[in-house]
Chains A and B, each alone.
Chain A
């Protein structure tokens, strides 16, 4: 208790109010800098390394369960799974053969038309970490960062279709936004007739809305939406969703069209990072993301 008595009765240094004011100003300044794109990238990177252990620790029980699930399975289950995978692979290979022919034909036709051929996309498998970033936005954390070449605005695919795009690439991890987030918009086209549209997230994982299609637009239930690649951040030609409902009200200028994402946004564990063609230079990715994120 001796030690305690020697403490000064009044705290020296700046008063509580002064300290509060200083720190409040500091946080306001930080927020403004952070809001104005990427001024704090280095601080963010440093902090992301600091919180990385927490993220890994949170993810650990889930990945451990998965690991155990994979390693402690019995022989017959494995054999059965192996068999079904082999069948799927055979099927996929057969399709791929046809695709190769079609791709070559496409390249020849494009050469005839003297338009540039599509560059093959490079992909990297990445895993979604079981970390709950925010209960009100559809955002995920993936275990690849700038160290692996991820960049802001990069598209994420699953086995079925487009999942989202990276909103912040940190050193070891990246944050991505799902296409179903209300603040996300994605340039798409209808596969059947090439009609362009914008698919906006609805806040519901199983629904996208296409708000700017006129009443007389040629769109039907069951149409497949593929990415048009117009915004620049998503590669063209990947499936996005299937039209689920079209409501045409003669009193309204636009039809109410909703689509269902083909990628199971709430069930995916692994996503593919896609590099399409040349990597973006300088601030171009930020611009293209702005284009992709909101209808003008």
Chain B
């Protein structure tokens, strides 16, 4: 993970957009069950690396757009992503220096809470909650986390900001 240099607005917006597209991209058959929570991962990444630009407000807005895109209750994903951003911002200094495996584990914990919030709201709103299969994306996201970090770090370096800090 690179240091705290500001990333341009368009870069953040672009990654969020890509995450949104990936979240509704049709996947063949059973693979759709293991789709990582791309948007949540991107939100965590930006909260950890660029908190000046990416605060709870932006995370919340991303959630609202996600809700509109997926047709869920307006505010459902917003609340879940708000929680994610809170955790990421609150424990930013600790999580940033974790080794990547430990980071993945932390991300999995955050996403488990995120999923819990989503399931809880589904339950209150009489939407079928889908059972234990809801936990697969959490696992998939934890596996995808190193890739997200690697990819986004690379993108930021190529765009001239974020001098690499070893470790």
Is A28 close to B, CB under 8 A?
yes
B89 at the interface (CB under 8 A from A): yes
By a CB distance below 8 angstroms, the chain A residues around B12 are none
Taking residues whose C-beta sits less than 8 angstroms from the other chain, chain B's interface range is 35 or more
- Judging by beta carbons under 8 Å apart, are A168 and B71 in contact? yes
Instruction: Count CB-based A-B contacts (< 8 Å).
Output: 114
Q: A10-44: which have CB < 8 Å to B?
A: 16, 19-20, 23-24, 26-31, 33-35, 40, 43-44
Tell whether, in the assembled complex, residue A134 and residue B70 are in contact, meaning their CB atoms are under 8 Å apart.
yes
Cα of A27 to Cα of B121 in the assembled complex, Å: 11
How many angstroms from the CA of A47 to the CA of B62 in the assembled complex?
12
Q: Which of A50-58, A70-78, A225-233 contacts B (4 or more CB under 8 A)?
A: A50-58
B27 CB–A CB distance under 8 Å: yes
The yes or no answer to A131 lying at the interface (CB within 8 A) is yes
Which of A23, A48, A58, A130 is B21 in contact with, Cβ under 8 Å? A58
Choose the segment among B74-82, B103-111, B142-150, B152-160 that binds chain A (4+ C-beta atoms closer than 8 Å). B74-82
Residues of chain B at the chain A interface (Cβ within 8 Å): 6, 17, 20-21, 24-27, 32-33, 35, 52, 55-57, 60, 63-65, 67-76, 78-79, 82, 86, 89-90, 121, 125-130, 133-134
Q: A16-B90, A54-B24, A132-B25 are in contact. List 16 more A-B contacts (CB 8 A).
A: A4-B6, A7-B52, A16-B56, A19-B56, A23-B57, A26-B60, A27-B75, A27-B82, A28-B79, A30-B64, A30-B78, A44-B74, A50-B65, A50-B68, A175-B71, A183-B128
Give residues in A with beta carbon < 8 Å to B: 4, 7, 16, 19-20, 23-24, 26-31, 33-35, 40, 43-44, 47-48, 50-51, 54-55, 57-58, 62, 130-137, 139, 141, 168, 175, 181-183, 203
